[in-house]
Amino acid sequence: MIPKAAQLLGLAMRARKVVTGEEQVITAVRNGQAHIVLLAVDASENTAKKVKDKCSYYGVSCVTTGDRHSLGHAIGKDGRVTVAVTDGKLAESIQRLLT
């Protein structure tokens, strides 16, 4: 994961604009709260397909980046497989850095 994107993700976490965990992320996507979803490269095939399909259906950007430990480290937690950012401006900035 790019260091600047990790910093922005940490900032979003401190601002309480991050949702983690597969079910919570999918709920945020369904409810229109998630602006971008970050998926770890070492996510299981089942989880990756489920999250990507939901993001595709609801028109939410899904970016595969870093492993579960780098995603978790960026938000100050243990390993995380899926992370959704619920703030539009932070999500735009993170996406610009990762694509």
d(CA 45, CA 17): 27
Q: Quick one: CA dihedral 74, 35, 48, 83, positive or negative?
A: positive
The CATH number assigned to the domain holding 55 equals 3.30.1330.30
Q: What is the total count of domains within the chain?
A: 1
Q: pTM to 2 decimals?
A: 0.91
pLDDT at 23: 93
What domain range is 36 assigned to? 3-98
Tens-place pLDDT, residues 55-97: 999 999 999 988 999 999 999 999 899 999 999 899 999 999 8
CB 54 within 8 A of CB 30: yes
**45 band by pLDDT with thresholds 50, 70 and 90:** very high
pLDDT at 62: 94
